[in-house]
Structure 1
Amino acid sequence: MPLPDDEHTGARIAHHRKRAGLTQRGLTQKVPYSYSLLTQVESGHKPASPDLVAAVAKALCIDVTALTGQPYVTELQKDRLAALVRPIREALDLYDLGADPAITPRPTPQLVAAAQALCQQVRATKLHDAALDLPGTMAEITTAAYRTPSSELWAALSSTYRTAHDLAVKLGYYDLSTVALDRMDWAASRASDPLLSAVRQYMRALVYFREGEYTIGQRLVASGQGLLEQSPQSRERHAVAGQLHLGASIIAARAHDEDAVKNHLTEARSYADRTGEATDVHWLSFGPTNVTVHAVSAHVEMRHYGEALQEAAKVRIPQDWAVSRAAHFYVDQARAQMEAGRSEAALKSIVTARKLAPQQTRYHAGARETIRGLIHLSRRTPDSLDHLAAWVGL
């Protein structure tokens, strides 16, 4: 059965539902959503929320990307990003071949700085630059780590694998992101850094969160907290512990466990009070601002849009905050505004996200669904919304 011409997420849900031999009522018996909502989503009259997509993917035993249409290859080709994915995939695959005799690596301080620069590029959403530089830097640090092993070099290599994961997620290559996390664990174990290993468990939890596997995600967060016991008390440990609680709050929100959400956010705030804005710790952007931003996300996941907007009104983005994180906040805010009937405000939030992080916003499934929802809500589509719709390929 070919895919429908109108390839929005709802149409893909209908396509895969029919392939599974299910009626709309049959599918709604397998997911915690109403028949009315499903019919509106499949017809394109309501956007497909991330929680609905995850639930449907799980019920149909398919990947979320089969429903979202990621990666968005046409747009990636226009941005000259598609051709950069294969070298990253190859660099991840060559991790166990030892030192490359054709490479003469730079001194360790320069390699560590190069790994940090890649992290900075991703958080500044310079995705093309990061994707272009990553394979060569990864190969160079791999060779250096094999020739003169040190915790510093293995940690730097683990950082490049994390960058590969971040790029893969932002561009919609979730299969590649999973490979990158496996490599991150491989290098982190050689660096003997429990904080790195805990961050990796946090990122793994988010992978399962996207796929609707909330119990596994919660177990991974708990595993990350356990790994922190191997690290001495420090500001860095507190920041990672707090970030794990933030991840757990979003997973709990998707599972509609409001008590757990409150508990995790309370714990995260207690850590944030001790660390302050800890944007320098493992590129987590942890701190009081991130706690409030996660409270917004949690309310959105629980479909408490009024509460989400109340929390959003409290957010004041620090000047040194990662652009990628700020843009994600505006996408969440836009979804809450759209669902609350504030279409004009939602459009402004999406435009802000685009100005901050154009490539990231273009490939963000939530941003695309929000734009689609705004189109259907608008009796007269504003020129700026028309332009955004064309820009993301809708």
Structure 2
Amino acid sequence: MSAAPSTAYVDGMAGSPETSIGDRIRFYRHAAGKTQAVVAGLAGITEDYLSQLERGMRTPSITLLHNLSGILMVPTSALLGESGSGPVAVERNSAASDLQAALMIPVHHRDLASPPPLPELRDRVDAAWASWQRASERYSQTGPLLPGLVRDVEAALHTHGPERRQACQIAADLYFLLRTYTKRIGRTDLALLVADRGRRAAEDADDPLRIAAAQWNVGQVQLSTNEADAAEDIAIHAIEELDRARATVEDVPRTALQGALWLVATIAAVRKKDNWAARELLREKAFPAAQRAGEGNVFWTVFGPTNVTLHAVTVEMESGETGEALRLADEIDIVRCPSVERRATFYLELARGYEQRRDDTGVLLHLLDVEREAPEDMRYNPLVRDLVHGLLRRARPTLAPQVRDLADRIGLVA
């Protein structure tokens, strides 16, 4: 049996700006004592493709990363380098430290004596959401707002009487924001915590729509931790609960939330390698819901025809149907999408598609689109960084200067 890798060595390797996802895959494969042929066979890919991944010539999909993490018996976060000690990890930990303290330290009695007025808290939470979804520098603009909001909202939750329900609604909305923020900075542990708090706040508010939105948020975390069956179960349960609440909730937000939950089930099917089931869910459930609900942003899910088509692109990419994925992408008017994150994701999918076609010019073009939309995502998203890392290794001389400049801007070149 192979010896377990040294924690210090793993952290040093994972945190290095020159370490690619492929380097980590190779490292953990060697640590597990498995050959490329064995790992490739278990993962359902060719040995040559695994070799390209390990050499940093290709970037794996999230679904493949989850699969490889199970085969190599390490967390997906280890392959992504989210637990490393390099500059990006330091930035993540710094961003999370004050927030974690606010989440863990009990509310002081002095804060309980005079919590902020609920209308003020509502405005602050809405402003934080607007910053997160619309600002190009969304991490640095939104992150500093969150610790204070947590403390003030937690104090407000001690309110009694008629205002208690409103305080719970505000708390649920804040924890929905914290779920996506903590997930994006690589703190899945905090994402699980705040997703659960959001669910409890929604239940305490006795608000069927918020309860469904809370289940959607929990499902998003479960997808990121490779719990596809659990994510699918919670999505289906929430859809059924909304059907039972049909008489008490408005039709458009109910339909939009059900559609967003069907997208969770769609990605769960992709994670389970059932791409035909994913296509069927899009065709039979998500697209009809999007047509009925129209473009919207109910509880910040950004659900509508544009987002459903974006998910269709992802399904085809995960299925290896790059040509169909790029054809579908041509149908998307991404400027209609109100979310910076979704727009950046769209350009990232295009970059992945062109990488599969070995078109480095297309990869670079769409990475520059990602940088234009969300420059901080270029630093925080491991898959984006890995695409740049791959370009550094293989770009032809005419592209190399632009690639090096991009890598330097995101801190990938020491």
Alignment TM-score, normalising by the size of structure 2: 0.87
Q: Is the 8 A contact 1:208 1:217 kept in 2?
A: yes
Q: Distance in 2 between matches of 1:26 and 1:265?
A: 34
Q: Is the 8 A contact 2:156 2:167 kept in 1?
A: yes
The aligned amino acid for 1:202 is W
Q: Distance in 1 between matches of 2:211 and 2:274?
A: 27
Does residue 112 in structure 1 map to residue 134 in structure 2? no
SS in 2 for 1:62: coil
Matched residue, 1:342:
359
Q: Is the 8 A contact 1:141 1:156 kept in 2?
A: yes
Q: Distance in 1 between matches of 2:42 and 2:219?
A: 23
The aligned amino acid for 2:226 is G
The verdict on how the C-alpha distance between 1:117 and 1:179 changes in structure 2, with shifts beyond 3 A counting, is same
Q: Is the 8 A contact 2:275 2:315 kept in 1?
A: no
Matched residue, 1:352:
369
Q: Distance in 2 between matches of 1:229 and 1:24?
A: 48
Matched residue, 2:95:
84
User: Could you tell me how far 1:254 is from its partner in structure 2?
Assistant: 3.4
User: Could you tell me how far 1:247 is from its partner in structure 2?
Assistant: 2.2
Matched residue, 1:273:
291
Matched residue, 2:144:
132
Q: Distance in 2 between matches of 1:151 and 1:163?
A: 19
Q: Is the 8 A contact 1:48 1:369 kept in 2?
A: no
Q: Deviations over 1:337-362 (max 9, x none)?
A: 22123321221111111111111232
Unaligned runs of 5+ in 2: none
Q: Distance in 2 between matches of 1:47 and 1:259?
A: 24
Residue 122 (structure 1) aligned to one of 132, 147, 166: 132
Q: Distance in 2 between matches of 1:317 and 1:9?
A: 29
- What percentage of aligned pairs have identical amino acids? 26
Q: Distance in 2 between matches of 1:382 and 1:348?
A: 13
Q: Distance in 1 between matches of 2:237 and 2:337?
A: 30
Q: Is the 8 A contact 2:198 2:214 kept in 1?
A: yes
Does residue 324 in structure 1 map to residue 324 in structure 2? no
Matched residue, 1:141:
153
Q: Distance in 1 between matches of 2:223 and 2:180?
A: 15
Does residue 290 in structure 1 map to residue 307 in structure 2? yes
1:28-67 counterparts in 2 under 5 A?
Answer: 28-67=40-79
Q: Distance in 1 between matches of 2:149 and 2:123?
A: 11
SS in 2 for 1:147: coil
Residue 16 (structure 1) aligned to one of 28, 40, 51: 28
Q: Distance in 2 between matches of 1:45 and 1:144?
A: 52
Q: Which stretch shifts more, 46-55 or 290-299?
A: 46-55
Matched residue, 1:311:
328
The verdict on how the C-alpha distance between 1:30 and 1:212 changes in structure 2, with shifts beyond 3 A counting, is farther
Matched residue, 1:236:
253
The verdict on how the C-alpha distance between 1:387 and 1:224 changes in structure 2, with shifts beyond 3 A counting, is farther
Q: Is the 8 A contact 2:88 2:379 kept in 1?
A: no
Unaligned runs of 5+ in 1: none
Q: Which stretch shifts more, 376-385 or 173-182?
A: 376-385
Q: Is the 8 A contact 1:330 1:353 kept in 2?
A: yes
User: Could you tell me how far 1:252 is from its partner in structure 2?
Assistant: 1.9
Q: Is the 8 A contact 2:290 2:304 kept in 1?
A: yes
Q: Which has the higher contact order (CA 8 A, sep 6+)?
A: 2
Q: Is the 8 A contact 1:209 1:217 kept in 2?
A: yes
Count matched residues.
390
